[in-house]
């Protein structure tokens, strides 16, 4: 049960995205000195849950890499202006797009960080890698805006 309607919506949207685009192939096995409980991942069980919640639609494992991959696909050829941010510490980092596919489809891996840390407000505790990731992302966004202005005017 969700705490509030917004949480319920987030759960619903995340569930859909998990099952259709980023079906995550991992579980967790605790180490001898951590606080995490065992949560082994069962692919068959996870896929059945996705199919049940999405009208029989099977999950698409590896959607991002299958769609974009290391070599540009037809879909990627018709897409532009994306920065994929991959945190080295993300358990799902293996499923991310890790290579620049063009000058407007770029990727960055942030050492010793999670994928969303670059989207948070700046903090005194930010590492150099996080700061450099933000600079990398903003440089691309600024360039894309300038290119658009040059084509279409201010």
The pLDDT value recorded for residue 15 is: 82
Q: Residues 121-144: pLDDT tens digits?
A: 999 999 999 999 999 999 999 999
Among candidate residues 30, 51, 53, 50, the one with its CA nearest the CA of residue 40: 30
The pTM assigned to this predicted structure is 0.66
73 pLDDT more than 70: no
Q: Residues 17-69: pLDDT tens digits?
A: 878 877 766 666 666 777 777 777 788 888 898 888 877 777 776 676 667 66
* 87-91, 103-107, 129-133: the lowest-pLDDT one: 87-91
1 pLDDT more than 60: no
- Mean pLDDT over each residue of the chain, to the nearest integer: 81
């Amino acid at each position: 049960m969700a705490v509030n309607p917004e949480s319920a919506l987030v759960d619903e949207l995340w569930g859909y995205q998990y099952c259709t685009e980023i079906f995550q192939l991992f579980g967790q096995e605790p180490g001898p000195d951590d606080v995490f409980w065992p949560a082994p991942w069962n692919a068959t069980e996870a896929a059945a849950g996705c199919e049940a919640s999405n009208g029989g639609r099977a999950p698409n494992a590896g959607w991002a890499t299958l769609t974009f991959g290391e070599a540009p696909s037809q879909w990627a050829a018709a897409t532009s202006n994306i920065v994929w941010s991959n945190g080295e510490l993300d358990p799902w980092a293996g499923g991310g797009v890790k290579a620049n596919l063009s000058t407007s489809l770029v990727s960055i891996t942030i050492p010793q960080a999670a994928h969303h840390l670059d989207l948070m407000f700046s903090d005194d505790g930010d590492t150099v890698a996080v700061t450099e990731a933000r600079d990398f992302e903003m440089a691309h966004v600024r360039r894309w805006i300038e290119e658009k202005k040059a084509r279409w005017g201010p």
